[in-house]
Every structure is written in structure tokens, then in C-alpha cells.
Amino acid sequence: MKLRSTHLLFAVVVLAAIAAGTGVLYFLPNVGEREATASRSAPRGDPTHLAGGSIMPRLRRAIAPPAEAPAEAKLSESPPPALIAAAPPPASPAAEAPPAVDELQASDVEGAVSFPPVAPTPPARPADLPSAQAGAPLPPIRPADLAALQAPPEPPAASQPVAVPPQAAQPPSAQPQAASQQPAPASSWSFPHWPQAAQPTPEAQQASAAPAPIYVDAPLPPTRPADLDKNVVAPGKATTVASATPESSQTPAPAGAQQTARLEEPALRPAPDDAFQAPPPKFGMGDPVFVRIFKQEGQLELWLKKNGRYSLYRTFPICKWSGRLGPKLKEADYQSPEGFYSVSAKQLHPHSNYHRAFNVGYPNAFDRQNGRTGGLVMVHGSCKSVGCFAMTDQGIEEIYGFVEAALRAGQKEVPVHIFPFRMTEANIARETGSSGGGWLSFVGSGGSYHQWVDFWKNLKQGYDKFEQAGEPPVAFACGDHYEFDGGSASCRRVAGW
């Protein structure tokens, strides 16, 4: 490989640069030293402070350590005047040693030297401290009879004399004299301008320990009346003054005597009859069931038997019923029946097309004896009716559940009584026009029902028996009327299938 002229020229330039740098380092050392000395001697505010610290001396020391200066030269050299003026005065005769070379070298870099904070000077002790303390007051002297003074005084009885200390009986002019005669207490401090507390003499202490009794006429407290408890009245109640004796036998009370009003004791009254009511019965599935239906009011009542008597459990609204007031007479007349019926287990239809259903048992024995025809009269859901009593699905679910549970629990038949309205004399008279005003029969019914007066009055007999006894009566079909709780031999009991 041959060297080109360019390579040779580049090598020559590099060697020349190295030689020039080495010459500068070896032949110009004094320049850097003079600049460093001038920068250290400059004040801190001067921009040339520590600015002359050239890198030449540092590189020179790195290559070869500096030679020791002769001792004579060190002694002859003296610090600049600026450094002498800034140096603090010596604290002791023994002067501190000059800083080492490394410390001077560390000062070349700005910010490397830190000065300790100046400690604050403590306050000077006043020269007149004893005279300032002489004016302080002395603490109070503890009395010798402190325990007797702290004990609470006993209240004097009415018959015992009240003791007054002799100091209270003395005139005011005698007390300062006794205080002035008492010697001052011994103390190492003497303050003429402060008054000293007077100490009691032994004679005065003996006199205060056993004071002479002085009798004072103290008033006695009032006596407590014997009938005070009778006069106490509860707050908020009116009080009346009543005398125990008639006015003719009353004697005037002596002057100064206390008079006490006698109050009349309140009379006790018996509690009303309805104050203590029995709690409502707790119904459950399996209890005996009784059903009442009112066509005009559109209500179905579900009664459950508890404690030997039927109680109303709930009243359900009838969603729809067809026809008018009056009994059902024949098939397809779109009438709803009226009378006394019974429901057995065979009459339940849990899978009816109208959710739940049970057959009321039309026609019963009374209907057949009177030639009435038809059938399939139900109490069901779906709120649709063609001669039946339609309930809501939620209502029939609850009614059907109680009826089925009662039949499964042992009840043979569930009585179902169907009325045109609540069987009262006023309602019958209003609907039949027998009250004297024929126009009343057309109010709300659209016609007169006088042909059903005898039939509805016969239904009212069974209605009244349940209202009075709380037990649905057993109905018997006796031709043209019903009998209850046992009929004649020609009558037939109304029963389910």
C-alpha cells in the first residue's frame, strides 16, 4: 500500500499541532500563575474574580507537580493589601496557620467557598439587677387556722344560740390598733415601701377559737301541713276548692294561721265498651269459607271462619255480570241467578277457559221445583260474562285458592248466597215501588220489580239469619219459598253435586 501525498500532509499537520501544544504547556507556565494570583487578589464584586484561573496551571500540575519554592522566597512574599484588610482580627495570641495549597486551589472555583452564619450576640446582663428585684412583692402568708376556715359552718338550731366572733363586736377603730401592734414577720428581704401583713397574737387566736355566744332571735321555719299530699294536683287539670264542713259549722281561722285549700279528688270513670277490642283474626288456607254476592253493588265477599264465627276476609269487586235484577228463569236469558247455592269439589274447574272457575250450582233444588232451566253459571276470571260473575284473574286466583283449600281440608260444601242487593227493607221498597212513590222504582234499574217482592223478602230471611248469628243458615227448597235450619218433610235441602 502506497502513501499518498494527502495522508502525509495530514500527519505533518497533526504532529505540528501536538508540538505547538506541548510548547505552550512547557514554555508558558508563568502566564497562568500570574492570572490566578491576580484573580484571587481581586475583590468579590469584580468580574475578574476567579476569572483568571486558566487551565494551564492545572494541566501543568497534572503532567508534572510544581517544584517547591525556596523558603526565603515564601518569607519575602506578602499577601496583597486587599487580603490583609479583609482578614478578621486574631481571636487569641496564637495565630492561626495559613491555609493549605489545596484550599487556595479550591477557591479558584466560584461558589466553592461558604462562610458560616454570624451568631447573634446575647443580651447584656443589666447592671442594676438587684435593685430591680428589690421591688417585687412578697407572697401572702399562710394563716395558721386555715383548716378551721375551710370547714363549712354548721347551721344553728332554732333553740341554740348563734355565736358572733368578738372581732365583729369590736368597734372599727380598735381593729387597726390590734393590727399595728403585731410584729412584722422575719424575712431576709426588707421593703419599707410595702405594707406587711399583720399576724394575729396568741391572745387573739385563743379568743377566736372559743368565741363568746351571742343569742339572736332567729325565726322558725313554717310547719308542714298534715294534708299536703291531698292538695297535690296533676298539672293541666282544673282544681276546685271544697270545704269539709258546711258553711254554718265553719269557724274563722285565728289571725296569722296558714290556711290550706282542700281539693276535691277526681272521680274514676269506667272505660268505654269499645276501649278493649280483640285483635283481628289471623286467616289461613284451609279455614272454612263462605261466599256472598251482591249484584247491584257489584261485590263478592269472602268470609273465613275463625273462633267459631265467620269473619269478613276481603271484598272483591265484580268485574262484569249480565242481565238485570231478579232471578234467572230459563236458559239463554242472559240473567244471573239469585238464591242460595252450594259448591262441592266436583264443581271446581281449575283449567277453565276463563283462568279459574267454580260452578255455583244453578239450578238448585228450588229452581228445579219452580221450572227454571239453564246451567253452567260460574264464578270465573278473564273479566268476561254471559250470565256468569266474572272477576279479574288476580281476584279469582285468591278466591279459588281459599275455596279449594277449604274443600281439601274437610269442608264438604261451600255455601254461596247470591242477592240482588243488600237485603234491607229500604232497598226492597225502593226497587219494588212499594214505598208509595212509583217513580222510585225506575231510579237506577230501568223498570219496576214489584213481582219479586215476596221472593226478595224470602231471601231477606236467610240474609238476616247470617247477620245475627254469624253462621250461614242451611237452606231448604219448599216449593215456592225457602226455609232455613230444618224444613218440613216435603222440603229438600239445597246441596251441591
Alpha-carbon span 248 to 245, nearest angstrom: 8
Look at residue 219 in the predicted model and tell me its pLDDT.
Answer: 77
pLDDT interval class at 145 (50, 70, 90)? confident
CB of 202 within 8 A of CB of 145? no
Given a cut of 50, is residue 110 above it in pLDDT?
no
The rounded percent of the chain whose pLDDT value lies above 90 is 35
Strands (E), 77-208: 162-163
- The pLDDT value given to residue 94: 43
Say which CATH number the domain at 365 has. 2.40.440.10
Of 107 and 404, more confident: 404
User: Active site includes 7?
Assistant: no
Any catalytic annotation for residue 491? Answer: no
pLDDT value, residue 234: 52
The residue behind cell 290550706 is: 260
Is 470 a domain residue?
Answer: yes
- 173 pLDDT exceeds 50? no
Average the pLDDT over 164-174 and give the result: 48
Neighbouring residues of 335: CB distance < 8 A, sequence distance ≥ 6? 322, 323, 324, 326, 327, 328, 329, 387
pLDDT band at 149 (very low <50, low <70, confident <90, very high): confident
**β partners of residue 378:** 359
Confidence band, pLDDT 50/70/90 cuts, at residue 251: low
Q: Is residue 3 part of a domain?
A: no
pLDDT, greater one: 53 or 299: 299
Of 319, 388, 417, 491, catalytic: 388
The confidence score (pLDDT) of residue 422 equals 96
Q: Looking at the 3D structure of the chain, how many domains does it have? A: 2
Residue with cell 273462633: 307
Residue 284 lies in a domain: no
Which cell is 449 given?
Answer: 220489580
What are residue 129's phi and psi, to 5 degrees? -65, -45
Which segments of 284-422 are extended strands (E)?
Answer: 289-294, 299-306, 309-317, 320-321, 339-343, 348-352, 355-359, 378-380, 389-390, 414-419
Compute the distance between CA of residue 396 and CA of residue 451 in angstroms, rounded to an integer: 34
Which region among 88-92, 208-212, 241-245, 429-433 has the lowest average model confidence (pLDDT)? 241-245
Residue-range definition of the domain harbouring residue 45: 34-60
Residue 429's pLDDT band (boundaries 50, 70, 90)?
A: very high
Give CA–CA dist 210/395, Å, rounded.
101
Residue 134 covered by a domain: no
Q: Is 88 inside any structural domain? A: no
CB 349, CB 359: distance < 8 Å: yes
**Phi, then psi, of 457 in degrees rounded to 5:** -70, -30
Residue 249 lies in a domain: no
> Which of 68-77, 270-279, 280-289, 330-339 ranks highest by mean pLDDT?
330-339
Residue 354 lies in a domain: yes
Q: With bands split at pLDDT 50, 70 and 90, how would you rate the model's confidence at 67?
A: low
Higher pLDDT, 226 or 246: 226
- pLDDT-wise least confident of 350-354, 371-375, 439-443: 439-443
Where is average pLDDT lowest: 85-94, 257-266, 274-283, 296-305?
Answer: 85-94
Q: How confident is the model at residue 220 (pLDDT cuts 50, 70, 90)?
A: confident
pLDDT over 70, % of the chain: 56
| Backbone angles phi and psi of 279, in degrees to 5 | -65, 155
Sole residue written with cell 246441596: 495
Q: How far is CA 410 from the centre of its chain?
A: 53
Which residue among 7, 193, 355, 380 is the active-site one? 380
Per-residue confidence (pLDDT) for residue 13, from 0 to 100? 92
Please report the pLDDT score of residue 128 as a whole number: 76
| Predicted confidence (pLDDT) at residue 322 exceeds the cutoff of 80 | yes
337 domain residue, yes or no: yes
Q: Flag whether pLDDT at 146 surpasses 60.
A: yes
What is the pLDDT averaged over residues 344-370? Answer: 94
Alpha-carbon gap, residue 51 to 38, rounded angstroms: 9
